[in-house]
Structure 1
Amino acid sequence: MFRGVRVHTLRTSSSRPLSRLLTTGRRHLSNNAFFRVSEEVREALHSKKPVVALETTIYTHGFPYPENVALASLLESVVRVNGGIPATIGIIDGIARVGLTPEELIMLASSAGKENTLKLSRRDLSYVAGMRLAGKNFNGGTTIAGTMLLAHLAGIKIFGTGGLGGVHRGAESSMDISADLTELGRTPVTVVSSGCKSFLDIPRTLEYLETEGVGVGTFADGREGKVDFPAFWSRDSGVKSPTTIQDEKEAAAIICESHGNIIHIRSSHKADAQNAMQIQSGLLFANPVPTEAAIPKTTMDTIIEEAIRQANVSGASGKDNTPFILAKVKELSKGASIPANRALIESNVRRATIVARELAVLEVQQEEAEGQSSSYILPVQSSPAASAEQLLHNASLEQPPQTPSTQEDVDILVAGALAVDISCDYTPLPTSISQLDPAPHTSNPATITQTLGGVAHNIAKAAHFLGSPVRLCSAIGSDLSGRAALSALESSGMQTSGIQTLPSPAKTSQYVAVNNAHKDLTTAMADMSILESINPETIETTWFPSLPHFKTLITDANWLPPALSSWLRFSKSRGAFTIFEPVSTAKSTRLLSALSSPSSSSTTQSTTAAIFPNHLIDLATPNNHELTALHTHASSSSLFSSEHWFRTIDALGIPSTGLRVPLSYTTSPALVDAGVPQRAIQLLPFIPTILTKLGPGGVLLTCILPFDDPALNSADEAKYVLARNGNGDREAGVGGLYVRLFEVEEVLKEEQVVSVNGIGDTFLGALAVGLQRGGKMEEVVRLAQRAAGLSLRSVESVAPELRGLRGEVEKLGR
């Protein structure tokens, strides 16, 4: 069908019903009125990056809100940290979405338990699409079967999940067989799971999969000989697996041989038949639950027998059977099933990502063997035990040509995104339905401007306008946008020696913002993938040797965690003050993953390492949403259970009565009710100073004071010192807790706001300059707020009028 045809997507009419799309067979669909693939996932598939599908019934019908949001954040982070692109799949307002945004994930997870939130398998997809045509919009979590189908329609080959459905006990009478099994029999997607739930009939499940023609294998996970097919909470089921797989390389090779028809969609007619068996069924790779979280088989057998007995007595059957038994297993195991469940899901998603990476390697190698010149980055093959940094090395990333650098010292080094910014400001017509927000699914009148941007660029530009010697370290593609960006930097008088040009297919980053009539952001799209293609080794060999002496590093979250860690550790080895800009809710958690990376040398530890283990960040500037994302990730990663966290919090001397009342005085009752300062305080053991940007609500400073900080003995500052070291643990390095809200001096009227793009970056650039000059935090924050106000009034992301604040900068620290 596809022989000799170069196919990326097959276009489908936007009005074509989903019921017809579901019968199109082996096609990869373009976006339409019923099926949408996110820009990030589409770009990743086009560039042959490893993409991993993730289901959503685990969020809508498995874990309660907000624990489900934390789990969703964790699993997407696992994919990204291991070098892949997550594609969480669900139904929003009757539309099948492949690659949910953080906002969509939260919306779907928060709808768990509601009447119009459905559990959707293959059979249900046409129903929700049809109801949308009838004016009834449903949200829904997709089961394994539903997720497999939608993943395949998008062109995704790998799917990581928890436990597979199966043949229920007594199915010879009830015919209760999960649709997951029949989906595996007809949809060529590889599922990585911890086998199936152990209360199912595992022998009959394997027999049914064999009948359906599904290849089944179990990862040896270090074991010798034939291994058992796992039983979800237990590593062994008493039933031998049909085959044993040693590692992810073998798994990728099996996929490559089995699904050659999918792999060769873009290949020529010369494809070797032995590499294209064109098997149309799926594959099941069973990954046993990690040893440390597993529950022994004998223990689980007893629990399950009792749970089944109670289900039979209660008459729980059909769709009610599984939820009833799961609840009883949780109860009878005294909650031990829950951490085991979390551990196995995380392990499965991690393994699925590595398999996807290995498959990407084989795909590119096959194309090259067939005489096709691949213009894509080839991921390096890695062992299952490889570290995150090793996993993210790209073997084929060429060393980019270096611009001759000057070695003159700089005050501030900024590492991160340089992008072409496109701003679309909605300008409604008198006849427009809404005079405030652009209408979805159609074109809208707008004023469109194009400028040079990117978080790191904007921060560096603000520092430059304020008179600070600054160097921007970033990457551009060898394309028209990249050449224009370099020219614009040179004309602005900024240093360009830290800008590296990467060969094709690397593309210069772009950011598109759609604003409403009040210039408030409605939605945005960002392609910052160029930085994500760069591994730590490239950073260490390309940027580090040419860097001058610098006093402050600011890095944004557009780097993947291993690369981010390299920038931070190198800067600490130089004795620099480090600042982190989270960029977005989705990317903000990369910091916590970077902090957990072990140091390669004792020389890279800061002088306060004894106080804060892996203390790589001195200050972070999240907004409220990013602060929440950081807190949720820390909670789901059990960082709040670490010995270091308890020791630091204990040393703060927080009174037993809590801080709600004093926090209400130093911030505001509304902020306390929203939990904003509380979340910031809990993150202090990992980020000792946090400045939370609250828009018109001001800036919230939350920090740990060392023993010698003058604020501890200042009458003027006493009201902001909410706790003092009370346990005598001076080695903890914690003198007290400081919390203060800096309100905005002037809230602009709507007609005064020209653009909101770049105001947070302007704030941070000015803040870094002020701190570098030795200014007190209060006066530095005030300066940064005034700078942000200037950018609010400017058509440019960073207002040139910042030069007028240089006189104030000169006065700081005197």
Structure 2
Amino acid sequence: MTLIGRAVGRPFLRNRGWSRTITSGRRLLSNNSFFQVSDEVREALNSKKPVVALETTIYTHGFPYPDNVALASLLESVVRVNGGVPATIGIIDGVARVGLSPEELIRLASSAGKENTLKLSRRDLSYVCGLRLAGKKFNGGTTIAGTMLLAHLAGIKVFGTGGLGGVHRGAESSMDISADLTELGRTPVTVISSGCKSFLDIPRTLEYLETEGVGVATFADGRKGNVDFPAFFSRDSGVKSPTTIQDEIEAAAIIHAQHALQIQSGLLFANPVPEEAAIPKETMDSIIEEAIRQADASGASGKDNTPFILTKIKELSKGASIPANRALIESNVRRATIVARELAVLEAKQEEAQGHGSSYFTPVQSSLASTHEAPMSKVQSTSPEPQSAGSRTSVDGSKVDIVVAGALALDISCDFAPLSTSPNRIDPEQHTSNPAVITQTLGGVAHNIAKAVHFLDSSVRLCSTIGDDLSGRAALQQLEASGMLTDGIRTLPSPHKTAQYVAVNNANKDLTLAMADMSILETSTPSSIHDTWLTSPSLTSNPPKCLIADANWTPESLHAWLTHGKHINALTIFEPVSTAKSTRLLTAIAASSKHNNDHAAAVFPNHIVDLATPNAHELAALHSHAHQLDLFSTKHWFRVLDALGIPSSGLRVPLAYTTTPDLVDAGLPQQAIKLLPFIPTLVTKLGPKGVLLTRLLPLDDPALSDPEEAKFILARNANGDVDVGVGGLYVRLFEPERVFAPEEVVSVNGVGDTFLGALAVGLVRGGRVQDGIGLAQRAAGLTLGSRESVSEGLRELRGWVEGGR
């Protein structure tokens, strides 16, 4: 199912007749000893960002640990990827919290099934909060009713969940009616769910909601005419929905009017389960009848009735209900986020119509709002004008300092979260499932580099390829929202898929294993790169100062990017990405050099890349591959080394002084030196050991006559061969400003990319490599302590960059 598509028209808001205090009827509650709104959620609400409430009963009473942690992380990531701020709501130690931190989420989810972890509706909140004062501390997952109430007290208008409670069959005698329905009748929060549980009495549920004054509508989801109100696992229930809405923009318009009219009841928007995960109505009906029969026979009633029936449905459906449940929850949360985003657009339009602009946040009026519209055919034809401050422009030849070519991807980070009973507290076990905290962010090596450049206030253009799918559209929205240029993004139709990267980290957040699907970039050819990017005005009329290419391109495509960079006299930089992909550069060099007469075009000063930033493993892979390609036996390589006069005994002793004996024993500086004729500047990232800079200095480099730099110059041009262009060999180890303790490390994803982005900014502003490494290390440290692939804290370094420190 296409979940995000092209735009449909938004309602036009006129200035006349609107009240500025449309929320005057809302009861907002300040933080106190019983009620706490997280800083992130509070800031988002104050800034009028789209916020989506999420319940926690599904974690405490729906899914087992650690599956519930994975689901919680997934749903929060769905909100973030679609441009919203998640507000997961629950009770921790008798305090109602709106916006749980990752640690609080894990704590609540891991307490599932324990005696002091309760299922909490409206009636229970004062009980669990009040007893905290008497020394009894409860944790609890909030039901739809409890979540609605707390969301309303915080000022949140949209809530995404799975299935609504309702009127139970036989309620005319049992009076078993969910509190969710009465809460909808008195709390002005919009709930987006897949209808109500299919074993309930759906006709009576809709009748009860009508009595309570609750507006009910069902998303058409591409269907024509009046549609059925969904039955949770099935898209149809046999009961027509009271009203039908086409998309999220219509939903947002209804919510906006509801609050403008100060109607103090909620709205229910039913979102049918995704078609590919749905269970046919006929199949589900027979399963439900049998589950209800067994519940009656066992005497399961009241609060025990729903869990019993759901367990039986799982058994009778042979597990098919579980993926359907997951799919519908994710779909509902995604749709809720888009509705919240569209509502923020309408509210911003009203503010603008009244002459009161938002002081902080202007929602992006995305062209990708509807979840069931025709897909984009071309980015340039559908990208709207920017709605947020920033440098985003159309592809008109506007000049940027840095072009970054490579992967734009969805990053999925799996951080091992060991149980108290786990045999290994650091590393996940192989060949089995491990508990983890899973997050999703927009990433990809090239994207992360470009984002770091953008945060440091340098102009940058990201050149990449995405699929016409959910991930690709969400990526464009996030880029636009941040003010970054999107005119370098090419969209390919199905079956091409937006790139994805999955990282598995140990308990110390160190990478254990990563899997990447960047195949969409490999569909590019030198010809398509030439036609799409290299002939555009942005790279011809106003060439950048620096071109960065990552190793996700094929060797042929990588060669096309880098040779073009040299052709326009830009600084060319290569990011190796991984040990497997790092060698693509040398493959490109070898193929090009063979075509250009015995490797001559590959060797300094005729190199195609000026600088590369491998880690220790990637450096070793580059060295090994160069040996396999026989690059160390060409006459041109020997000519460069001969010019430096390096003795046959090597440089072991001086290298030990400018780096460390351990690095020399590992052979890292030696490997780097051997690669310099092909890559004249290597900045090798060594984690907590620092950064190793190895350079071939040109004949006119000022460092050759700088007394402060003399100790790092281990060799100079010794044979007078000036045509080779080599003036000296520079080797220096930069120790880190500080080493992070394991508990300080939030994520290692994007740290190396942040480093390169910051280094590139320093270089295009006229700095030397050795002067820019300090800035790059500080920027990398900020990302190391951030949940994001690139920390927004980089903005604070702008003055540091300008000051040349």
Q: What TM bracket, shorter-length normalisation?
A: 0.5 to 0.7
Structure 1 residues 596 and 75, CA gap change in structure 2 (3 angstroms):
farther
Tell me how far apart the structure 2 counterparts of residues 69 and 49 of structure 1 sit (CA, whole Å). 25
Q: Give the conservation status (yes or no) of the 8 Å contact 1:82–1:392.
A: no
Q: Give the conservation status (yes or no) of the 8 Å contact 1:581–1:620.
A: no
1:355 aligns with 2:355: no
SS at match of 1:33: coil
Aligned AA (1:85)? V
SS at match of 1:473: helix
1:308 aligns with 2:292: yes
Structure 1 residues 598 and 352, CA gap change in structure 2 (3 angstroms):
farther
1:119 aligns with 2:119: yes
Aligned AA (1:315)? G
Q: Give the conservation status (yes or no) of the 8 Å contact 1:579–1:617.
A: no
Q: Give the conservation status (yes or no) of the 8 Å contact 1:393–1:534.
A: no
Q: 2:324: which partner in 1?
A: 340
Q: 1:539: which partner in 2?
A: 484
Q: 1:791: which partner in 2?
A: 738
SS at match of 1:474: helix
Query: Which one is further off, 85-94 or 295-304?
Result: 85-94
Aligned positions of 1:247-646 closer than 5 A: 247-260=247-260, 277-375=261-359, 376-381=361-366, 382-385=369-372, 395-400=386-391, 473-475=453-455, 497-498=458-459, 534-535=479-480, 538-540=483-485, 603=528, 619=577
Tell me how far apart the structure 1 counterparts of residues 78 and 48 of structure 2 sit (CA, whole Å). 19
SS at match of 1:218: strand
Report the CA distance between 1:160 and its aligned residue.
0.4
Structure 1 residues 166 and 318, CA gap change in structure 2 (3 angstroms):
same
Q: Give the conservation status (yes or no) of the 8 Å contact 1:117–1:141.
A: yes
Tell me how far apart the structure 2 counterparts of residues 174 and 331 of structure 1 sit (CA, whole Å). 26
Report the CA distance between 1:367 and its aligned residue.
2.2
SS at match of 1:539: coil
Aligned AA (2:454)? S
Structure 1 residues 585 and 341, CA gap change in structure 2 (3 angstroms):
farther
Tell me how far apart the structure 2 counterparts of residues 223 and 411 of structure 1 sit (CA, whole Å). 42
Tell me how far apart the structure 1 counterparts of residues 125 and 614 of structure 2 sit (CA, whole Å). 45
Aligned AA (1:535)? E
1:146 aligns with 2:146: yes
SS at match of 1:185: helix
Q: Give the conservation status (yes or no) of the 8 Å contact 1:60–1:109.
A: yes
Q: Give the conservation status (yes or no) of the 8 Å contact 1:41–1:51.
A: yes
Q: 2:782: which partner in 1?
A: none
Q: 2:211: which partner in 1?
A: 211
Tell me how far apart the structure 1 counterparts of residues 19 and 227 of structure 2 sit (CA, whole Å). 42
Tell me how far apart the structure 2 counterparts of residues 310 and 703 of structure 1 sit (CA, whole Å). 64
Q: How many residues align?
A: 513
Aligned AA (1:311)? A
Aligned AA (1:384)? T
Report the CA distance between 1:539 and its aligned residue.
2.6
Aligned positions of 1:166-245 closer than 5 A: 166-245=166-245
Q: Give the conservation status (yes or no) of the 8 Å contact 1:377–1:394.
A: no
SS at match of 2:485: helix
- Between the aligned residues of both structures, percent identity stands at 62
Report the CA distance between 1:361 and its aligned residue.
1.1
Tell me how far apart the structure 2 counterparts of residues 473 and 365 of structure 1 sit (CA, whole Å). 31
- Alignment RMSD: 5.6
Q: Give the conservation status (yes or no) of the 8 Å contact 1:394–1:533.
A: no
Q: Which structure would you say has the larger RCO, counting Cα contacts within 8 Å and 6 or more residues apart?
A: 2
Which structure has the larger Rg?
2
Q: Give the conservation status (yes or no) of the 8 Å contact 1:393–1:537.
A: no
Report the CA distance between 1:309 and its aligned residue.
0.6
Q: Give the conservation status (yes or no) of the 8 Å contact 2:55–2:89.
A: yes
Tell me how far apart the structure 2 counterparts of residues 784 and 97 of structure 1 sit (CA, whole Å). 42
Aligned AA (1:76)? E
Structure 1 residues 619 and 175, CA gap change in structure 2 (3 angstroms):
same
Q: 1:95: which partner in 2?
A: 95
SS at match of 2:88: strand
1:656-687 per-residue CA deviation (whole Å, 9 max, x = no partner) reads xxxxxxxxxxxxxxxxxxxxxxxxxxxxxxxx
Structure 2 residues not aligned, in runs of 5+: 1-17, 409-444, 462-475, 530-548, 559-573, 580-612, 630-659, 663-675, 693-732, 742-750, 756-768, 775-805
Q: Give the conservation status (yes or no) of the 8 Å contact 2:81–2:478.
A: no
SS at match of 2:53: strand
Report the CA distance between 1:189 and its aligned residue.
0.2
Report the CA distance between 1:593 and its aligned residue.
11
Q: 1:272: which partner in 2?
A: none
Structure 1 residues 113 and 784, CA gap change in structure 2 (3 angstroms):
farther
SS at match of 2:329: helix
SS at match of 1:363: helix
Structure 1 residues 75 and 705, CA gap change in structure 2 (3 angstroms):
farther
Report the CA distance between 1:373 and its aligned residue.
3.4
Aligned AA (1:233)? F
1:526-550 per-residue CA deviation (whole Å, 9 max, x = no partner) reads xxxxx997528953369x7xxxxxx
Tell me how far apart the structure 2 counterparts of residues 317 and 170 of structure 1 sit (CA, whole Å). 11
Q: Give the conservation status (yes or no) of the 8 Å contact 1:90–1:98.
A: yes
SS at match of 1:281: coil
Q: 2:796: which partner in 1?
A: none
Q: Give the conservation status (yes or no) of the 8 Å contact 1:413–1:473.
A: no
Aligned AA (2:357)? S
